[in-house]
Amino acid sequence: MSQGKIVLMACGSFSPPTYMHLRMFEIAKDYIHSLGLGVIVGGIVSPVHDAYGKKDLVAANHRIAMIRLALRSSSWIKVSEWETQQSGWTRTRASMQYHQNTINTANNTDPPIWLPDDILNVKIEDQNSNHINGNSEDVTVKLLCGADLLESFATPGLWSDDDLEAILGRHGIVVVSRAGSDPGRFIYESDMLYKYRKNVILVTNYIVNEVSSTVLRRLLRRNESAKYLTDDNVISYVRQNQLYGSKANVTK
Ligand SMILES: Nc1ncnc2c1ncn2[C@@H]1O[C@H](COP(=O)(O)OP(=O)(O)OP(=O)(O)O)[C@@H](O)[C@H]1O
Ligand SMILES: NC(=O)c1ccc[n+]([C@@H]2O[C@H](COP(=O)(O)O)[C@@H](O)[C@H]2O)c1
């Protein structure tokens, strides 16, 4: 069953970005194409606003610069600065709607499509909010996430039921497995996820890789080597700017 044109959107801190943050786009794209579940026409990395306030969240300008460095070799994944430019934290549902509306308003041409970066910088008030599911040629923005983010749906008070209904019902999500997670069981045990299970694409990552931003930050602040866990340019950027307690003169 084809679901038409899809843009994958990953939200998170990306503080700093790791290879796995980008690898999950490739794994998801291959899976969706191999099963004919849709046509991936783009990928968006949407870093969270500074006001999200998570521990070790460095300023958005640094996180965006690092994501750009890590994405230099990608032809289809782009960073969106939009969330970071709002006056505060934006709920994921609103961000997905904004990006979907923007893409569909600006771009109803044949794939491969992509938008110039400046289109992603428009304010939400400028958007036509009635665009969702209006045209069969429209792009659907789906949330791309690891199984831990899916499991956060059950954290009391973190996600509203309305938002989950919209994300699952109108957009859909693509979940990449992580070590120790059982997303299939998690979906079965959640009434909300079970109701919308046909809009949840579960992707098994057989090449398990548990690199995380936490692991990278630990290595960097201890001035140990973080090489081959993220792009060399990201590591250099971290050291040059002495982020996460790292030192500028370390070369490994
Ligand atoms: N190793 C991984 N495998 C699958 N998904 C991952 C992996 N690392 C991160 N992700 C996913 O990337 C997205 C962004 O995550 P986030 O920025 O919180 O990264 P993180 O590395 O888990 O961060 P931190 O260690 O700071 O909590 C989330 O959907 C998360 O599930
Ligand atoms: N209600 C919501 O929309 C909601 C709740 C919690 C986290 N999130 C998003 O999930 C991501 C979580 O990132 P971390 O895993 O780095 O904390 C962020 O992009 C954040 O905005 C959204």
pLDDT, tens digit (0-9, with 9 covering 90-100), for 121-139:
444 444 444 333 445 578 9
Q: What pLDDT digit, counting tens, does each position of 201-211 carry?
A: 999 999 998 99
* d(C-alpha 2, C-alpha 32), whole Å: 9
Quickly state the pLDDT bin for 30 (edges 50, 70, 90): very high
pLDDT confidence of residue 102: 86
Mutate to test the pocket of ligand 1, among 149, 175, 201, 214 (most ligand atoms within 8 A of CB): 149
Quickly state the pLDDT bin for 11 (edges 50, 70, 90): very high
Q: Which residues pair with 140 in a beta bridge?
A: 6
Q: How far is the CA of 145 from the centre of ligand 1 (A)?
A: 8
* d(C-alpha 234, C-alpha 1), whole Å: 39
pLDDT confidence of residue 110: 47
* d(C-alpha 98, C-alpha 95), whole Å: 5
ipTM of the complex: 0.97
Q: What pLDDT digit, counting tens, does each position of 219-240 carry?
A: 999 999 999 999 999 999 999 9
Query: What's this model's pTM, rounded to 2 decimal places?
Result: 0.91
Give the helix ranges, DSSP H, for the chain: 19-34, 60-70, 82-85, 92-106, 147-151, 161-166, 183-189, 191-195, 213-221, 232-240
pLDDT confidence of residue 203: 97
- Report the nearest-CA residue for atom 3 of ligand 1: 178
Instruction: Identify the nearest ligand to the CA of 166 by its number.
Output: 2
pLDDT confidence of residue 137: 73
Answer whether 214 contacts ligand 1 (Cβ < 6 A). yes
